[in-house]
A and B are shown apart, each in its own frame.
Chain A
Amino acid sequence: MTARGTPSRFLQSVLHNGVGRYVCQLKRISLIFSKKGQGSLGVRDFIEEGVVDFAKSSPGTVVYISPQSCRIPKIVAEYLNGNVKEETVTNKTSQEIAELITKLSNQSGLDIIRIRKPFHTDSPSIQGQWHPFTNRPPSIDPVGPQSK
């Protein structure tokens, strides 16, 4: 769809993250998988090999493992700003799931939609934003072309 038809936002961070200290924005990650289904094989392998390392490397994220009888294994990631992201990981390998989880933990929770400008600043101008009356000698007469 066009730019007007899809949502968009400006470049921003949650609570000016990074200005003061960096806070990992991922607060909770839940691995929902089945103990016997073949689609959850990758998830089961990841839980055997990689999940403990991930949990140790990001102490600010709580990892929940919930084996349920489900046909499609899911990873539910919750972020500090309240957004919840669900990813289905059916038939993914353990390596792919590890990469996916790293990607989720590096994201801030803001929506993945078109970013209008790739920059943002709180102090857009140091010497003062130019307007047509900058550098114009003061005069009480109404505006007209300057005689040089």
Chain B
Amino acid sequence: MAACRALVSRAVLPLHYHHVCRGVMLTHIREKKRWMKAYSLIMERKRKMEGPPPPKPRSQQPNFDYHAEVEAFSARLRESFSLELLKTAFVNVCYLRSEEERRRALGLDLETTVFNLKDNGELCVHGQQFTEAFLSDWCRGSFPSLPQEGVAAIVGHLTGSEVMCHVARNLTVEELTMSAEFPVPDETLQGTFFAVIGALEQSSGSVQARLFIRDFLVTQLRGKDLFDLWEVVDPMGLLVKELTWKGIALPEPRLIQSAGASTVLPLYFVGLYSDGKLLAQGPGETVLAAEEEAARVALRKLYGFTENRRPWDYTAPYEQLQKPSAQALTSG
């Protein structure tokens, strides 16, 4: 059967055929395709040469309805956004510029085709100020003895691009953002998230916006250590300053325990005593490192940012939020 088909194909050209590429001619038969192997190998080689395709934004993939997605975004977070404000919050300046250029390049007359989108600049600024103000108040309320630099460091960490972009990506803000480039750069995403908070404040009021920031940004502090967020170069100096300000005697370091002094992994425990009473003790590989660690432990105890502190109570109603000092007793 195959032999006579070969004779036929050499003698007479089949009716329907086309060249797929050099070396592969496609004829329509229903049996095993002889061109399939060559074609697959060529495509494989092409794919290997070009590498993986660039990522496409979700809005350009099938099954995406922008209005429905925005409504679902608002419902998912259990907030009632005003959809207009929310849609404005997602539009970035870079997107508007790139759209205008594209329309100009396509030759569309800018007067006839009205481009009616506002960008999210004001909402972004407003949202950022509101967030930073609320987070500073919350910090000062729940850690009353934390100095200004500490508060600024914590607020800076929570409003920094790492944490904000992580939260934004896991809340689908990145998919709904309209920006010129994809993947959306971190600053744009951070600005869009601030704009969303600004839109929430303007649609539902500052109470709801504060609860939103508490539920999504303050939770990112769980499991974090104070000195990971706040870089302190000289903890002993800071401790001395704090204690003099409080009027407590200055700390004296004493070696409490030592083990393995002549080995590769020595361990020293240094305790800080003020007026005969133990403030804190800390371990270290050298006596100096142990003293520094003890100073850090003492600072954590002073500021109430220890690992075993009582966690923040997220079920407390809004009145508690307004007077964060009331919750400071159970320092969150």
The answer to whether B258 touches A143, judged by C-beta atoms less than 8 angstroms apart, is yes
A76 CB contacts on chain B under 8 angstroms: 63
The answer to whether B308 touches A126, judged by C-beta atoms less than 8 angstroms apart, is yes
- Tell me, yes or no, whether B247 is within 8 Å of chain A by CB: no
With A20-B314, A23-B76, A23-B77: A30-B63 Cβ-Cβ less than 8 Å: yes
Query: Which of B103-111, B112-120, B133-141, B166-174 binds A?
Result: B166-174
Interface-central residue, A21, A23, A139, by most chain B CB under 10 Å = A21
- Tell me, yes or no, whether B65 is within 8 Å of chain A by CB: yes
B:40-71 near A, CB below 8 Å: 62-63, 65, 68-69, 71
B308 CB contacts on chain A under 8 angstroms: 123, 125-128
- Tell me, yes or no, whether B318 is within 8 Å of chain A by CB: no
The answer to whether B222 touches A66, judged by C-beta atoms less than 8 angstroms apart, is no
- Tell me, yes or no, whether B220 is within 8 Å of chain A by CB: yes
- Tell me, yes or no, whether A133 is within 8 Å of chain B by CB: yes
- Tell me, yes or no, whether A136 is within 8 Å of chain B by CB: yes
- Tell me, yes or no, whether B191 is within 8 Å of chain A by CB: no
Distance (Å) between the CB of B211 and the closest chain A CB? 8
The answer to whether B223 touches A122, judged by C-beta atoms less than 8 angstroms apart, is yes
Number of B interface residues in the complex (CB < 8 A):
42
The answer to whether A60 touches B257, judged by C-beta atoms less than 8 angstroms apart, is no
The answer to whether A142 touches B68, judged by C-beta atoms less than 8 angstroms apart, is no
The answer to whether A66 touches B63, judged by C-beta atoms less than 8 angstroms apart, is yes
**A60 CA / B218 CA spacing, docked (Å):** 23
B:77-136 near A, CB below 8 Å: 77-78
- Tell me, yes or no, whether B148 is within 8 Å of chain A by CB: no
The answer to whether A59 touches B219, judged by C-beta atoms less than 8 angstroms apart, is no
- Tell me, yes or no, whether A44 is within 8 Å of chain B by CB: no
Contact of A27 among B172, B215, B271, B307 (CB under 8 A): B172
Query: Which of A11-19, A34-42, A93-101 binds B?
Result: A11-19
**A27 CA / B69 CA spacing, docked (Å):** 9
Main secondary structure of the interface of B (DSSP, over half): mixed
B222 CB contacts on chain A under 8 angstroms: 16, 19, 122
The answer to whether A80 touches B172, judged by C-beta atoms less than 8 angstroms apart, is yes
The answer to whether B219 touches A138, judged by C-beta atoms less than 8 angstroms apart, is no
**A24 CA / B216 CA spacing, docked (Å):** 14
The answer to whether A15 touches B219, judged by C-beta atoms less than 8 angstroms apart, is yes
B283 CB contacts on chain A under 8 angstroms: 133
Distance (Å) between the CB of B101 and the closest chain A CB? 30
**A14 CA / B76 CA spacing, docked (Å):** 14
**A125 CA / B308 CA spacing, docked (Å):** 6
Distance (Å) between the CB of A75 and the closest chain B CB? 12
The answer to whether B170 touches A14, judged by C-beta atoms less than 8 angstroms apart, is yes
The answer to whether A15 touches B314, judged by C-beta atoms less than 8 angstroms apart, is no
- A sample of 17 more A-B contacts (CB under 8 A), given A21-B77, A138-B257, is A19-B314, A23-B171, A24-B76, A60-B73, A61-B76, A62-B72, A82-B169, A122-B222, A126-B308, A128-B308, A133-B257, A133-B269, A133-B283, A138-B254, A140-B258, A142-B258, A143-B257
Q: Kindly list the 4 A-B residue pairs having the minimum CB-CB distance in the complex, ordered from nearest.
A: A20-B215, A60-B76, A59-B75, A138-B256
Give chain A's interface residues, CB within 8 Å of chain B. Answer: 14-16, 19-21, 23-24, 27-28, 30, 59-62, 64, 66, 76, 80-82, 122-128, 133, 136, 138-140, 142-143
